[in-house]
Amino acid sequence: DAGVIQSPRHEVTEMGQEVTLRCKPISGHDYLFWYRQTMMRGLELLIYFNNNVPIDDSGMPEDRFSAKMPNASFSTLKIQPSEPRDSAVYFCASSLGSADTQYFGPGTRLTVL
Amino acid sequence: KQEVTQIPAALSVPEGENLVLNCSFTDSAIYNLQWFRQDPGKGLTSLLLIQSSQREQTSGRLNASLDKSSGRSTLYIAASQPGDSATYLCAVRSGGSNYKLTFGKGTLLTVNP
């Protein structure tokens, strides 16, 4: 398996623009997680899905953030409108079970100017 | 609310030295604890996962211990090599219904040749 795939790897956009981050989990994994990493706050869980259903979105910072998982092999994290404080590295991870090892993608480095 | 602290924030050692990285957590009611490695610009790679009922796990030159009652874990790296240079993150998975991972901010390890 190719592991967790994320795209794009880098995104530079201007404040107010819509940003869409994409993730393909490892085939067969029932859980998908979106994280955000910053120097100040470290790695924070934003939302996670089980069998394509959002289970806990309490980490989503604001209504500007939304995530979807239309099928078992694809998820998106959307920010609309984007702000400079959203600049961070966004990671997607997947796992077989809720308490199993999580496998991380390479991340998307987002810069909002 | 679970909080995870890693000390030191950065560590520099000469090649060949044995070293210990520390992780502490505030709520001892954990399900398991995981150590990750993160290389610059890359995602996280799982190194070891210790269940709450276990005291330690070993993989090659790595040994992780867990003392749940005192809220501590250590990652021991034997005979360090320059290739071990990376950021090491500790993550605690709490029990209950959602099995969230809470991460420390990591220890940046540099092994000098």
What's the sign of the alpha-carbon dihedral B48, B54, B60, B62? positive
Please give the DSSP secondary-structure letter assigned to residue A27.
T
Q: Which of B60, B110, B61 is nearest to B87 (CA)?
A: B110
Cβ–Cβ < 8 Å for B72, B24: yes
Spatial distance between the Cα atoms of A1 and A94, rounded to a whole number of angstroms: 13
Residue A104 confidence (pLDDT) above 70: yes
Question: pLDDT band at A100, cuts 50/70/90?
Answer: confident
The answer to whether residue B93 neighbours chain A at the CB level (below 8 Å) is yes
Burial of B89 (0-12, 13-18, 19+ CB in 10 A): buried
Cβ–Cβ < 8 Å for B91, B101: yes
- Mean pLDDT on A75-83: 97
Question: pLDDT band at A108, cuts 50/70/90?
Answer: very high
Question: pLDDT band at A64, cuts 50/70/90?
Answer: very high
Question: pLDDT band at B42, cuts 50/70/90?
Answer: confident
- A4, B43: Cβ pair inside 8 Å? yes
Chain B nearest C-alpha distance from A71 (Å): 21
In chain B, residues with a C-beta closer than 8 Å to the C-beta of A33 are: 101
By percentage, how much of chain B surpasses pLDDT 70? Answer: 97
Q: How far is CA A27 from CA A5, A97, A106, B67, in A?
A: 11, 13, 17, 35
**Cβ within 8 Å of A, B 43-72:** 43-46, 49
Beta-strand pair B10-14/B107-112: parallel
φ, ψ (nearest 5 deg) of residue A96: -70, -55
The answer to whether residue B19 neighbours chain A at the CB level (below 8 Å) is no
- A107, B98: Cβ pair inside 8 Å? no
- E strands of A1-113, at which residues? 5-7, 10-13, 19-24, 31-38, 42-50, 53-56, 65-71, 74-79, 88-95, 103-104, 108-112
Name the residue facing A91 among B41, B43, B46 (closest C-beta): B43
Residue B86 confidence (pLDDT) above 70: yes
Spatial distance between the Cα atoms of B1 and B102, rounded to a whole number of angstroms: 10
The answer to whether residue B108 neighbours chain A at the CB level (below 8 Å) is no
Question: pLDDT band at B98, cuts 50/70/90?
Answer: low
**B37: its two tokens:** 């490695």
**Mean pLDDT for chain B?**
93
By percentage, how much of chain B surpasses pLDDT 90? Answer: 83
Beta bridge pairs of residue A110: A11, A88
Residue B99 confidence (pLDDT) above 80: no
